[in-house]
Amino acid sequence: MKLLAFAGSTRHESFNRRLAAAAARMGREAGADVTLLELSDFDIPLYNADLEARGTPADVLRLKEVMDAHPAWIICSPEYNGSYTALLKNTIDWASSPVSGHPVWGQGDRPLAGKVVGMLSASNGRLGGLRAQSHLAPLLLNTQCWLAPQAYALSAAAEAFDAQGALRHAHDQAAVRAVVTQVLWAAQRLQG
């Protein structure tokens, strides 16, 4: 099973990028073929229909291809002002936007429809980014993703990782592993 893990942040010391890396390691341990995607590797402008009308940017097409190739996803969402980041929204907006006349991307359902998505978040706050997840879930459902019922919000994130980026506490490890396991299980059955 191919698993895509990414964070809605490009900040170098992002807790959610660390969490995505930890989830990716767990996916590999479970036998998945894992891609840890860094959104900073893509030159994607703010979504603008006028810009899109002049031609979908090449990195948007590249992003769509990477997303489409993975039936299972883990999204690690930071929480800004009680919601997910503009970067994450912009990424989903571009990914879901149809490319006029394109044989693969001409419809708006690919590459999101049918993907099994597990939500994780990390924050220093007591809720661990849970409010961002509550806003992200309807967006993902609207794009026809299958949302895994298991999710996890990691609180006290500044203390949660060791120097190698692994989760320190057994309860955090078990909770993240449960999300990864459920996403892989569901994606395998939907692809079958």
| Domain boundaries along the sequence of the chain | 2-191
Residues 6+ apart with CB under 8 A from 50: none
- The total of other beta-carbon atoms located within 10 Å of residue 28's CB is 14
pLDDT value at residue 188: 97
pLDDT value at residue 164: 93
pLDDT value at residue 107: 84
Query: In terms of CATH architecture, what is 2-191?
Result: 3-Layer(aba) Sandwich (3.40)
Give me the tens of pLDDT residue by residue for the chain, a chain 192 residues long.
999 999 999 999 999 999 999 999 999 999 999 999 999 999 999 999 999 999 999 999 999 999 999 999 999 999 999 999 999 999 999 999 999 889 999 987 899 999 999 999 999 999 999 999 999 999 999 999 999 999 999 999 999 999 999 999 999 999 999 999 999 999 999 986
| CA end-to-end span of the chain | 11
CB 179 within 8 A of CB 117: no
pLDDT value at residue 109: 86
